[in-house]
Amino acid sequence: MNLVDENYSIQAKNLLENLVDEFENTIKGIHKIDIVLKQIKTIRVEINKRSRWISEISNISKDIANKKVKILIYNEDYFEPVENELKKLDLQFNKNGQFLEIVQPIFSYNQLMSLVDDIESKKNKIISKCTKAKMDPVIRSKHAVENEFIDHAIARKTSNNCQKMFEEHQKLITEMTLKKIKSILGHENFKKFEKEGLLN
């Protein structure tokens, strides 16, 4: 890309690259086990005649490698009420010392789609940020034209360069999104997803 006489778009380039990195790191942290984690975090239990969130009486962590959620229960008395709630959610668990370990079940298509919605939402947010990153240098160059620092040709070149960079980075984000969705859904579910025309 030729940036001769035009250095406003460098700002957009740097911002767009950072946003793509940010998005990549964000979606890297999304895993199927998050569905279980979300279910567990909705649990409330009765402790000493008080309703308490599970997060108040335990420490909940993801074990991505072993496809488990581990709940470290702070007090022996809390095991039974927590176990009862896990049973209501149809979650299989094992007691291991102070831990309750919930193994990742086989998820339904609809359960997996809740994660896909989350990924799509994050994609839309990052695209909005990219749009702003694209526009900031264009607005700056327009102000520079108004103040006679640069001519219209340079402002036009800035606008064209920023648009081109935006489209390249938007394409990258879309490719990353699809790759992540495919890894979450698996081959068969992804085919169903494509058939339903749900690709944004």
Q: At residue 200, does pLDDT exceed 70?
A: no
* List of residues 6+ apart from 53 with CB closer than 8 A: 41, 43, 44
CA distance 64 to 24: 18
Q: What percent of the chain has pLDDT over 70?
A: 96
**Which residues on adjacent β-strands are paired with residue 45?**
52
Contacting residues for 110 by C-beta, under 8 A, at least 6 apart? none
DSSP bridge partners of 58: 73
Confidence at 95, pLDDT banded by 50, 70, 90: very high
- What is the SS3 assignment for 102? strand
Q: How many whole angstroms separate alpha carbon 81 and alpha carbon 32?
A: 26
pLDDT at 197 over 80: no
Band (pLDDT 50/70/90 cuts) for residue 137 is confident
Contact by Cβ (8 Å): 122, 25: no
45 and 69 in contact (C-beta within 8 Å)?
A: no
pLDDT tens profile 32-71: 999 999 999 999 999 888 999 999 999 999 999 999 999 9
> How sure is the predictor about 2, in pLDDT bands with cuts at 50, 70 and 90?
very low
Per-residue confidence band for 1, with pLDDT thresholds at 50, 70 and 90 = very low
> Within 13 Å and on the Cβ side, how many CA atoms surround 185?
22
pLDDT at 141: 82
Tokens linked to 175: 């490719």
Please give the pLDDT value at position 3: 38
pLDDT for the residue numbered 4: 41
At 198, is the pLDDT very low, low, confident or very high (cuts 50, 70, 90)? low
User: What's the residue count for the chain?
Assistant: 200
Tokens of 5: 């006489």
What domains does the chain contain, in order, with CATH numbers?
9-30+108-194 (1.10.132.20), 33-103 (3.30.1360.40)
